[in-house]
Amino acid sequence: MRYLPLTPADRTAMLAAVGAGTIDDLFADVPADALLSGPVEGLAPHASEMAVERHMARLAGKNLSAGAAPFFLGAGAYKHHIPASVDHLIQRGEFLTAYTPYQPEIAQGTLQVLFEFQTQVARLFGTDVANASMYDGSTACWEAIAMAGRVTRRKKAVLSGGLHPHYVGTAETMAKFTGDVIEARSPVLSAQPDDAEVIAAIDDQTGAVVVQYPDILGRIPDLAAIAEAAHAKGALLVVVVTEPVALGLIEAPGHLGADIVVGEGQSLGVGLNFGGPYLGLFGASEKFLRQMPGRLCGETVDAEGKRGFVLTLSTREQHIRREKATSNICTNAGLCALAFSIHMSLLGGEGLSQLAAVNHDRARQTAERLAQIPGVTVLNDAFVNEFTVVLPADAREAVRSLADKGVLGGVALGRLYPQDKALHAGLLVTATECTTDDDIETLALTLADVLKKGA
Amino acid sequence: MNAPNASGWKPEMVADDGSVQPMTVSGDKGLQLEEPLIFELNRAGQTGVDIDAPKRGPVAGLLKFLRKAPAALPGLTEPEVVRHYTRLSRQNYAIDLGPFPLGSCTMKHNPRLNEKVARMPGFADIHPLQPKHTVAGAFEAIAELSDWLIGLTGMAAVALSPKAGAHGELCGLLCIRAAIEAKGEKRHIVLVPESAHGTNPATAAFAGFRVESIPATEDGRVDMEALISRLGPDVAGVMITNPNTCGLFERDLKKISDAVHASGGYVYCDGANFNAIVGKVRPGDLGVDAMHINLHKTFSTPHGGGGPGSGPVVLSEALAPFAPLPFVQREADGRVHLVEEEEIASTGHAQSFGRMAAFHGQMGMFTRALTYILSHGNDGLRQVSEDAVLNANYILRALEDVLEAPFAKAGPCMHEALFSDAGLAAGFSTLDIAKGLIDEGFHPMTVYFPLVVHGAMLIEPTETESRAGLDRFIASMRSLAERARAGDERLKTAPHFTPRRRLDETLAARKPVLVWKGDKA
Amino acid sequence: MTRYFTKEHEWIQVDGDTATVGITDFAQESLGDITFVELPDAGRAVTAGEAVAVVESVKAASDVYAPVAGTIVEGNAALDAEPELVNTAAETDGWLFKLTLTDAAALGTLLDEAAYKAYIAEL
């Protein structure tokens, strides 16, 4: 078998060396009735690389990939062009097959990358510090709520209706078990985000105010006003960024008063991957450092005085604090952080701003074109690369019909909010640098056709 | 002459007479390459991505939100970026370079077919919210993986959304909590053996339970009598690792499970070490109610320098109704469909405890793990655990005369061999052996874990090491053990041949520097 | 002024109804290089045996308990910038917190210096 180096002769000799007659002598602690006598039901014997690849390719071939169709989906997962060098570099075995850098003398590569990554995230978010990454945006969002609770010693979190419903769901699940109080609201199909409602809901029990920026409908909340209101009541402002490319164009949340900024880093370097693995970004003000979850990499010197890097402040973490840890998280999204960092290094701050400007250009062209379709209106006054259109029909039906014609036309709000009928005419449309003029025209013509037939 | 590195230090050599001399002007030494921070390489206005100029400016409504200046981040051309990261990569040890015997972490070879499959556009380039009929192959792949995880563990169901092992633990504990609440009971204690990984008590606490520790017996197993005597109407369940963190099989797990069930509690099994028994033992047969599987351990998805992981949780009949959303369900007719929030009522899953994360879980890890399972097949997976256990016992017996093996005198270990620091010369520690192993060209074993053994050294060779490779490792370990027993002072300053010597962790923690501020002086 | 000790390796210097609390030299030695000290807020009422401070080294975090009941007067602000004071001056400048005693009688249950020395000699 191609992955197992021991030969039958090795096994015989090694069994003799350890004083065992058969391999099952080494499984002697397993109760006899628990030891399987035969193969697992239904699972075939080992297979060649070619055979397995063929099987997996057949499954993959049943999916319509984003690159094979005009593609307009977003809602927390974005298709961007990933430079070829990113995937080449992350597949170097020294990165791909390394472990968590617990032995810093032979892990300076990973550690320096994490230090650079932390700096990039902090500068992107406008926060003092950032950690070495979390599982994804949704879990980072819950960790931020929990952290704000530890800092303020308050149990209530006020969530904007513009927060991604999966992020809301994740927080609600966790809060059921921790006793935190989550005050969430549904979005409303309006040009303006719900800043006023959020501000009105903040009271002196509120520990965290959570706002997505841009929000789930692509709108842009006024963070400075919400930060002021939160701070006036002693609460922390948690800002959630699901599309980091947007920060090439709009102001960094940390510069507008956010105390904690979390996000989904999938847009840069990672790819769609059907939802995972993704990359949780986590930045915060330095004064809350000791309450941060997750791994942190810090600068130090070695025995000869040379600059080097180590994992640090691990007394916050589960392997030392056990049940008193700031989080039970035991990993970061190392390889995804590397991909993000490489992509960001290729772009630079100015490149990111240019990329965001092109994304906005594509989205603006898409919005203006869709607005020409009879009965279709664009909801947003402001957006970066994602906006909401209101259709004269159920958007889920329209999305299905578009897909049947080979167009992946957006995310129907009904998919995200099945219970909320008032949103079912909403279609969330995203355009990125990958979106061509032809894609836009195809979407517009096909959507017009679908709506006409539906009417 | 320019400083070779913008941080200001120069590589130096202490000569025999004590004088300090520069080694090279560049800072590099042959193939030992120094690399500045990316920020120190920055040249204003460069980029490694060509981007078309936009034809349109911002919409009017966006103007007031525009950022004042681009983020202060370096951009470099592709050759500079490729070189930066390639040079950094060479400062890492990796499984591709040699044995990586980190106990409990399972650093085995990562088959490259898995990487190729995960990158097929039909898996890598699909969006989690695409219309379901455009991603039927993705759901089929998830369902196939589910089938095999259920089959290999003998359980009733699997929750695939947890993002890593600790997230899987949380999933299992939340299922237990939901099940207890559904019965209208108030059980708030979770029993955790003292040898447990730190995530276990942390997870139990995050799931809202109080943790009580259960002692170990002299032979490194859970003290069954102490555990059973603590059971009662306030105990929600136990978290047991099997094989445990001492590398031993918990012989009494079935009896423990029966007692826990009889008292109304549930059994969580930490499946971090499932790779020792895959294809040989099904945890479901031992009465387990929930177990997470680290796909990056047993099923060899790459560790990537610290993630991403993936932690599917297999569940018993009793806990399956509480599984988190979303999941993929296979109907009697073989058809596969996705269960999300809106389907829970119509599909009989109204008791689901909810969503743990956005989207469907770590798809990129599912395709890799499925590829691994199909490549090995039923015979190969059995061989995996048998070879892993054989390799560990080979190391155990080859070292037990030079290092104390506290729990394996009487019998075999499973997939990892545990030693203590007993017998080392005064002032010499496990850390010195670990650092010496680095100079020998190996990654160290897990050190100081589990906590129940003084100066623990936990060695997990995995099944993907050859006999010759094991013999080389054993020779180095024997030499190091003998040097530490004899008090060889050179060990205390090891490693000597690495890009950096021992690092000052106290300084890093006392004065944390977590981001670069070199341009803000 | 009288100095008391506990089996949890704390020292308590009593001056009127104010007690200054730190960890002993023996304790700092076994903890290793101290990297951070988490201190209680002024005004917090604490009971005897309650965890009120945390002393951290690189690989460990140890709770420090209030040896007697009282109200926290202040934490040692100097430790924010110089946690190493706990190593270099554990029983003087490296004190952790001061509290106002609410139950002075409880001091009688603590060890005196001779008893503490005898206790650690046996460890």
End-to-end Cα, chain B, rounded Å = 23
In A68-163, DSSP assigns E strands to: 129-130, 156-159
Residues A372 and A257 in one domain: no
- H/E stretch holding A57 reads helix A49-60
Contact in structure between B373 and B381 (CB atoms under 8 Å): yes
pLDDT at residue B43, as a whole number: 73
| Contact with chain A for residue B124, Cβ under 8 A | yes
Residue B433 lies in a domain: yes
Structure tokens, A39: 């193969």
* Closest-CA residue of chain C to A291: C38
State the Cα–Cα distance between residues C61 and C64, nearest whole angstrom.
Answer: 10
State the Cα–Cα distance between residues B446 and B197, nearest whole angstrom.
Answer: 12
Structure tokens, B134: 């455009």
Residues A115 and A215 in one domain: yes
Residue A58 lies in a domain: no
pLDDT at residue A455, as a whole number: 59
Q: Which of A343, A358, A373 is the last residue of a domain?
A: A343
Q: What is the DSSP string of A260-327?
A: EEEEE-TTTTT--GGG-S--EEEEE-GGGGGG--S-EEEEEEBTTS-EEEEEE-GGGSHHHHGGGSS-
Residues A238 and A130 in one domain: yes
What's the CATH number for C2-102?
Answer: 2.40.50.100
Backbone region of residue A195 per phi and psi (left: phi > 0; alpha: psi in -120 to 50; beta: other values):
alpha
Taking each helix axis from N to C end, the angle separating A137-152 and A165-178, rounded to the nearest 10 degrees, works out to 40
State the Cα–Cα distance between residues B491 and B496, nearest whole angstrom.
Answer: 9
Cross-chain Cβ contact C38/A321 below 8 Å: no
Q: Is the pLDDT of residue B470 over 80?
A: yes
State the Cα–Cα distance between residues B444 and A105, nearest whole angstrom.
Answer: 11
pLDDT at residue B475, as a whole number: 98
pLDDT at residue B78, as a whole number: 96
Angstrom distances, CA of residue A37 to CA of A4, A23, C100: 22, 13, 70
Q: Which of A343, A368, A388 is the last residue of a domain?
A: A343
Structure tokens, A211: 């706002």
Q: What is the pTM of this model?
A: 0.95
| Contact with chain A for residue B368, Cβ under 8 A | no
pLDDT in tens, B325-341: 988 888 888 888 888 88
End-to-end Cα, chain A, rounded Å = 60
> Where does residue B97 rank: exposed (0-12), middle (13-18), buried (19+ CB within 10 A)?
middle
Amino acid at B50: D
- The alpha carbon of C24 is separated from its chain's Cα centroid by a whole number of angstroms, namely 8
Q: How many domains does chain B have?
A: 2
The model's confidence at residue B22, banded by pLDDT at 50, 70 and 90, is: low
Q: What CATH code is carried by the domain that includes residue B447? A: 3.90.1150.10
Range C62-86 average pLDDT: 93
State the Cα–Cα distance between residues A427 and A436, nearest whole angstrom.
Answer: 20
Q: Which residues of A touch B516 (CB under 8 A)?
A: 115-116, 119
Q: What is the ipTM of this complex?
A: 0.97
Amino acid at A109: G
pLDDT at residue B1, as a whole number: 34
What are the two backbone dihedrals, phi and then psi, of residue A268, each rounded to the nearest 5 degrees?
-105, 110
pLDDT at residue A325, as a whole number: 74
Q: What CATH code is carried by the domain that includes residue A72? A: 3.90.1150.10
Q: What CATH code is carried by the domain that includes residue A243? A: 3.40.640.10
Cross-chain Cβ contact B510/C56 below 8 Å: no
Contact in structure between A331 and B306 (CB atoms under 8 Å): yes
pLDDT at residue A332, as a whole number: 86
Q: How many domains does chain A have?
A: 2
Residue A21 lies in a domain: no
What residues make up the domain containing B407?
A: 383-507
pLDDT at residue A173, as a whole number: 94
Residue B11 lies in a domain: yes
Substitution target in B429, B430, B506 with the highest count of C β-carbons within 10 Å is B506
Q: Which residues of A touch C35 (CB under 8 A)?
A: 315
| Contact with chain C for residue B505, Cβ under 8 A | yes
pLDDT in tens, C18-71: 999 999 999 999 889 999 999 999 999 999 999 999 999 887 888 999 999 999
Q: Is the pLDDT of residue B6 over 70?
A: no
Contact in structure between B266 and B179 (CB atoms under 8 Å): yes
The model's confidence at residue B9, banded by pLDDT at 50, 70 and 90, is: low
Residues A313 and A270 in one domain: yes
* Three-class SS state of C65: strand
Residue A222 lies in a domain: yes
Q: Is the pLDDT of residue A330 over 90?
A: no
Instruction: Enumerate neighbours of A (3 or more CB pairs within 8 A).
Output: B, C
Residues A329 and A353 in one domain: no
pLDDT at residue B4, as a whole number: 47
Cross-chain Cβ contact B509/C84 below 8 Å: no
Instruction: Enumerate neighbours of B (3 or more CB pairs within 8 A).
Output: A, C
Residue B10 lies in a domain: yes
* Closest by Cα among B460, B466, B477, B463 to B416: B460
Residues A239 and A150 in one domain: yes
Residues A298 and A354 in one domain: no
Q: How far is C17 from chain B (nearest CA, A)?
A: 34
Q: Which of A343, A371, A395 is the last residue of a domain?
A: A343
Cross-chain Cβ contact A347/B197 below 8 Å: no
Cross-chain Cβ contact B280/A109 below 8 Å: no
Interacting residues of C92 by C-beta distance below 8 A, sequence separation 6+: none
Lowest average pLDDT, out of A53-62, B70-79, B198-207, goes to: B198-207
* Closest-CA residue of chain B to A107: B92
Structure tokens, B142: 């998830």
Residues A173 and A300 in one domain: yes
| Contact with chain A for residue B164, Cβ under 8 A | yes
What are the two backbone dihedrals, phi and then psi, of residue B212, each rounded to the nearest 5 degrees?
-120, 140
| Contact with chain B for residue A122, Cβ under 8 A | yes
Q: What is the mean pLDDT of chain B?
A: 92
State the Cα–Cα distance between residues A283 and A252, nearest whole angstrom.
Answer: 11
Cross-chain Cβ contact A250/B65 below 8 Å: yes
The conformation of residue A163, written as its DSSP 8-state character, comes to: S
Amino acid at B101: P
* Three-class SS state of A108: helix
Range B480-495 average pLDDT: 96
* Closest-CA residue of chain C to B448: C59
pLDDT at residue B12, as a whole number: 64
State the Cα–Cα distance between residues B453 and B407, nearest whole angstrom.
Answer: 10
pLDDT in tens, B242-283: 999 999 999 999 999 999 999 999 999 999 999 999 999 999
pLDDT at residue B8, as a whole number: 53
pLDDT in tens, B143-171: 999 999 999 999 999 999 999 999 999 99
State the Cα–Cα distance between residues B165 and B146, nearest whole angstrom.
Answer: 17
Cross-chain Cβ contact C56/A315 below 8 Å: yes
Residue B45 lies in a domain: no
Residues A154 and A219 in one domain: yes
What residues make up the domain containing A206?
A: 84-343
pLDDT in tens, B39-87: 999 777 788 999 999 999 999 999 999 999 999 998 999 999 999 999 9
What are the two backbone dihedrals, phi and then psi, of residue A301, each rounded to the nearest 5 degrees?
-130, 160
pLDDT in tens, B338-383: 888 888 888 888 899 999 999 999 999 999 999 999 999 999 999 9
Instruction: Tell me what percent of the residues of chain B surpass a pLDDT of 90.
Output: 81
pLDDT at residue B133, as a whole number: 94
Range list of H helices, A159-194: 165-178
The conformation of residue C94, written as its DSSP 8-state character, comes to: T
pLDDT at residue B436, as a whole number: 97
| Contact with chain A for residue B471, Cβ under 8 A | no
CA dihedral of residues A45, A49, A50, A53 (deg, nearest 10)? 90
State the Cα–Cα distance between residues B240 and B200, nearest whole angstrom.
Answer: 9
Cross-chain Cβ contact C83/B510 below 8 Å: yes
Interacting residues of B131 by C-beta distance below 8 A, sequence separation 6+: A399, A400, A403, A408
Structure tokens, B370: 């499925």
- The alpha carbon of B207 is separated from its chain's Cα centroid by a whole number of angstroms, namely 21
- The alpha carbon of A379 is separated from its chain's Cα centroid by a whole number of angstroms, namely 25
What are the two backbone dihedrals, phi and then psi, of residue A206, each rounded to the nearest 5 degrees?
-80, 125
Cross-chain Cβ contact A314/C56 below 8 Å: no
| Contact with chain A for residue B285, Cβ under 8 A | yes
* Closest-CA residue of chain A to B38: A116
The model's confidence at residue B3, banded by pLDDT at 50, 70 and 90, is: very low
pLDDT at residue A22, as a whole number: 96
| Contact with chain C for residue A315, Cβ under 8 A | yes
- Can you say whether the dihedral through the CA atoms of B24, B25, B31, B33 is positive or negative? positive
Residues A101 and A178 in one domain: yes
Domain ranges of chain C: 2-102
Residues A186 and A313 in one domain: yes
Q: Tokens 């075999």, residue?
A: B412
The conformation of residue B441, written as its DSSP 8-state character, comes to: T
Structure tokens, B49: 């991505």
Range list of H helices, B90-163: 112-118, 121-124, 136-153
Q: How far is B94 from chain A (nearest CA, A)?
A: 4
The partner residue sitting opposite A320, judged by closest CB among C36, C38, C59, is C59
* Closest-CA residue of chain C to A320: C60
* Three-class SS state of A362: helix
pLDDT at residue A156, as a whole number: 98
State the Cα–Cα distance between residues A212 and A238, nearest whole angstrom.
Answer: 9
Instruction: Tell me what percent of the residues of chain A surpass a pLDDT of 70.
Output: 99
Backbone region of residue A273 per phi and psi (left: phi > 0; alpha: psi in -120 to 50; beta: other values):
left
- H/E stretch holding B182 reads helix B165-182
Interacting residues of A265 by C-beta distance below 8 A, sequence separation 6+: A121, A133, A137, A244, A278, A279, A280, A281, A336, A337, A340
Residues A100 and A216 in one domain: yes
* Closest-CA residue of chain A to C35: A313
The model's confidence at residue A63, banded by pLDDT at 50, 70 and 90, is: very high
